[in-house]
């Protein structure tokens, strides 16, 4: 499964310095205003303008610790977007040091730790973000993704559910909960979640792939093949869809087609057989 939650993980969480600085904008000089705008991510050409704007604010020596914490957080987001995870972590550390009650750098640092494969440390940061802000839907979604990667599917389903409760229109979390519920055997609930995910995003390969798994575990092999076909139309090398379709084809007696799909899936993902066994498909 392509989780899709990576898109709700750091993107869109930068705090808005402009709102926090309204009281001082009238007397501000235009270079500072430009740096505030850049630090807020107004220039979308690359992460570099945001890094430059935040750095100018940080180095000015004129900002309050509260504003500095936001600038470090925003610069951390920009470094993360560049794949410079160690620099991002350094900035999130500084943001947290300046404002320990600021939930966003905990969440964002957790995303970076997750990308680096340090899932337990990521979960600790998501825990802290949620403790500071119990209504932080992105943090629940990000923690769910970490639990999913650790194969703790019950916990993942619970966190996806909290994210849905807080932000029902977050597209990826419906698919995430569908996948987790399918694996733990809550098939009817999983099917409803996948249908909702596809209602929100009709051409989502990951949601078709997840619903294919639901149908596969229900023994509805024709429906599974149909959904895997739709997923592969969007992502032709999606290993889970290739393997799932191959498994369904074998169950229907299409040995050549099934074996070809499974062989293609193994080329993309060597551990795909073990993954599906863990999902209860073997």
Nearest to 1 by CA among 270, 200, 246, 211: 211
Is-contact 73 108, C-beta < 8 A? Answer: yes
Kindly list the distances between the CA atom of residue 128 and the CA atoms of 120, 124, 134, 140, 159, in Å, as whole numbers in the listed order: 13, 6, 10, 11, 14
**Can you give the residue ranges of every domain in the chain?**
1-114
Q: Token pair 């084809």 is at which residue?
A: 249
Which pTM value belongs to this model?
0.85
Going by C-alpha positions, the residue among 150, 110, 116 that lies closest to residue 131 is 110
Buried b (16+ CB within 10 A) or exposed e, 211-242: bbbbbbbeebbebbbbbbebbbeebeebbbbb
Q: Where are the alpha helices (DSSP H) in the chain?
A: 17-20, 22-25, 30-39, 48-60, 65-81, 85-98, 103-115, 119-132, 137-149, 153-166, 171-184, 187-200, 205-218, 221-234, 239-251, 255-268, 272-278
**Spelled out in words, what is the top-level CATH class assigned to the domain 1-114?**
mainly alpha
Rounded Cα distance between 94 and 98, Å, is: 6
Tokens of residue 20, six digits = 């926090």
The answer to whether the beta carbons of residues 241 and 231 sit under 8 Å apart is yes
CB 77 within 8 A of CB 10: yes
Task: Please report, in tens digits, the pLDDT of each residue of the chain (282 residues total).
Answer: 433 332 223 333 344 454 444 334 434 457 888 888 889 888 889 999 999 999 999 999 889 999 999 999 999 999 999 999 999 999 999 999 999 999 999 999 999 999 999 999 999 999 999 999 999 999 999 999 999 999 999 999 999 999 999 999 998 999 999 999 999 999 999 999 999 999 999 999 999 999 999 999 999 999 999 999 999 999 999 999 999 999 999 999 999 999 999 999 999 999 999 999 999 998
């Amino acid at each position: 499964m392509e989780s899709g939650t990576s898109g709700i993980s750091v993107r869109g969480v930068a705090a808005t310095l402009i709102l926090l600085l309204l009281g001082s904008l009238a007397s501000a000089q235009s270079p500072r205003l430009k740096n505030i705008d850049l630090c807020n991510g107004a220039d979308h050409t690359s992460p570099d303008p945001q890094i430059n704007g935040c750095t100018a604010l940080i180095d000015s020596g004129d900002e309050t610790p509260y504003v500095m914490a936001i600038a470090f957080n925003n610069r951390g987001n920009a470094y993360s977007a560049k794949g410079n995870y160690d620099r991002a972590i350094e900035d999130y550390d500084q943001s947290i040091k300046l404002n320990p009650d600021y939930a966003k750098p905990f969440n964002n640092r957790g995303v970076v730790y997750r990308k680096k494969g340090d899932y337990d440390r990521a979960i600790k940061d998501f825990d802290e973000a949620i403790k500071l802000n119990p209504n932080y839907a992105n943090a629940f979604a990000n923690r769910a993704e970490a639990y999913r990667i650790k194969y703790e599917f019950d916990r993942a389903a619970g966190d996806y559910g909290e994210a849905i409760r807080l932000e029902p229109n977050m597209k990826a979390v419906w698919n995430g909960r569908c996948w987790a519920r399918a694996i733990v055997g809550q098939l009817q609930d999983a099917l409803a979640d996948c249908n909702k995910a596809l209602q929100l995003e009709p051409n989502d390969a990951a949601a078709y792939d997840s619903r294919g798994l639901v149908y596969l575990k229900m023994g509805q092999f024709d429906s599974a093949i149909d959904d895997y076909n739709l997923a592969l139309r969007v992502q032709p090398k999606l290993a889970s869809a290739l393997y799932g379709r191959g498994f369904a084809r074998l169950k229907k007696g299409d040995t050549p087609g099934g074996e070809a799909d499974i062989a293609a899936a193994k080329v993309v993902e060597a551990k795909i057989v073990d993954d599906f066994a863990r999902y209860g498909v073997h």
